[in-house]
Structure formats: C-alpha cells, structure tokens
Chain A
Amino acid sequence: MSAAEKLQNPLLDKRLINSFVDGVASTLQTMANTPVTFGKPFVEPKFAARGEIAGVVGMVSHDWKATLTLSFPKPAILSILENMLGEKFTDITDEVHDAVGELTNMIYGSAKGSLNDMGYNFEMAIPTVIKGQFIMLQHTKSATLVIPFKLTQQNAEFFIEISVS
C-alpha cells in the first residue's frame, strides 16, 4: 500500500465501510445466529445519537483519531441478545449494557484487523457503553459516516457511526 493511500481520510475509504459491514455481519452471524443486511451509508455533518444504548470506542492510529459508535434502538439489541444468550430480555438491563460493550469490542476488533492489514494501524481499545439520550462531546461537531443495518428476520434497525476528529 502506498503512503498516499494510507493517508486517505477513513470516511472517504470504501474499504472502511466494507470492514465494518463484514465485522458486524460475521459477529452477529457467528455469536447470535442473526443475519443482517446493510443499507446505503451516508455522511452527516454532525454526529446525532440514534437508539437507546450505544457502544463507543476510540479508533486511534498515528494518523487518525476517530470514534466508532454502535447505536442500538431497543428492539434490535433485545432481539440480538435473545439469540446470542438464549434468554428473553424486555428492557435495557445491566446485562444488556455489558453485552453491548462486548459486541462493540468484537466488531471493532474484527474491522480493525482488516483495516490494519490495509495499513491504518488502529490501536487496541476498550469500549464504553452509554444509554439514554446521550451527548457525545468529543465528536458532536464532526462529520459522521452512518451505516444502517437491519435484522433480516424482523423489522429492527441499528447503526454504526464513525466520526473523524
């Protein structure tokens, strides 16, 4: 890979989208037997919270600082966790909170592996989980790439949002 390609803004690199789409699809299929489809990605001028709970992880490399947010409206995350853990959840409990952290960890880890093979060199990081009407002070003013996903077997959506500082 050339230095010029390495310095491309991640939001303009379609391989970034592919890495996250593959990371989400393989994580949910393998861990939760849950197939997903993804919609057309779009860029918003500012970050906007979507959903009731989100896993957040800093994507830091030598050249880039970005924030990955995995945002789940309640129906989507409750359905995924029912498939993953074999238990029915009706609300956002501490267990759901923990599971969103682990899902974020796996999806970021999976995408990071592909991105680092391309030369991005994103570092390992531990996700945090936020719930309710959250405000992202660090990247509310940043352009945000949004990738919508839909659970194939039901009408429930969730989102990946990537903001580059």
Chain B
Amino acid sequence: MFPPNTKFLVIDDFATMRKIIRKILTELGYTNVEEADDGANAWPLIQKAHEAGTPFQFVISDWNMPKMLGIDLLRTCKADPRFADLPFMLVTAESEQKQILEAAKAGVSDYVVKPFNAATLKQKLERVYAKTNNAAKAS
C-alpha cells in the first residue's frame, strides 16, 4: 500500500465530499492531504507543488465541476511528462459505461462511483498501488 506520508490532492466542488474523502484517508493513516474546489484551481497547485520539490503523489478528483472537469484535468496531467505517471483516481456520480470507458481511455488509474464507502476507497487505493508498483517493476 502507499506509504503513510503519501501526498494527496482531493478535488471536488462540494466541500462535503472533500471532507468525506479526507476523513477516510485519515482513517487509513494518510494525513498529508490538500484540497482544491475545481480542476481549474487544482492544476496550478499540482504544478507549484512539483516546482517546490514536494509533488503530489496521488490525485483524487470529482468528474463534474463547474470550471474544469476532472476528466480534463486528467488529460492535462497525462499530456505533461512531469505528471503522466501521477496516480489519478476519479470519484464521481457518473456510473455509465461510456464515461467509465472515456476515463479509461484518458488513462485514469481507477474509478470510484458515488455513493461509496471507506472499504471501497481503500480497495481502489490498493489496486492503484499494485498497478503502480507493477508498472515500476516492469520499467
């Protein structure tokens, strides 16, 4: 599993969902968590953290936000070599197959459909860790 000092960025336009995700992460032992309320505000944070030498190591983002969609932030990260390997999870109320496929095509690490509980988020984090680890070993 990801080490306890992993630096997370949680992005959602609703503070309630950011709070729920932060609470679950804290229960799982992760306390290095920052928040953004939109993809458009998250992108400069991701770049600044990288430039400061304290990059985010995991992004958990909502899909449907007013200024910049989570899927667009994902594509922006994937297009930038600095963030192409940054684990990126979408947590969204959008459960339709076409959206899941669109996210997979954009390179999402995993996809959590709301509503979800702590066990589901933990399981998905473990899955991303396994994928990331396997990819690192293969390269």
Contacts and interface: CB of A to CB of B under 8 A. Distances in A.
Interface in B14-67: 14-17, 19-20, 23, 63-66
B14 A105 contact: yes
Overall SS of chain B's interface = loop
B42 to A, nearest CB: 17
A105 B91 CA distance: 12
Contacts of A125: 64
Nearest to A116: B96
How many A residues touch the partner, as a band?
20 to 34
B85 interface: no
Given A109-B95, A110-B115, A113-B95, A126 B16 contact: no
A99 B13 CA distance: 11
A99 B23 CA distance: 15
Given A85-B16, A101-B14, A110-B95, 20 more contacts: A27-B115, A30-B117, A31-B20, A31-B114, A31-B115, A85-B19, A98-B14, A101-B16, A102-B12, A102-B16, A105-B14, A105-B64, A105-B93, A106-B93, A106-B115, A108-B93, A110-B93, A117-B96, A126-B13, A126-B66
Contacts of A85: 16, 19-20, 23
Interface of A: 26-27, 30-31, 84-86, 95, 98-99, 101-102, 105-106, 108-110, 112-113, 116-117, 124-126
Contacts of B19: 85
Contacts of A27: 114-115
A26 to B, nearest CB: 6
A116 B93 CA distance: 13
B20 A113 contact: no
A31 to B, nearest CB: 5
Contacts of B114: 27, 31, 105-106, 109-110
A95 to B, nearest CB: 7
A57 to B, nearest CB: 11
Contacts of A109: 92-95, 114
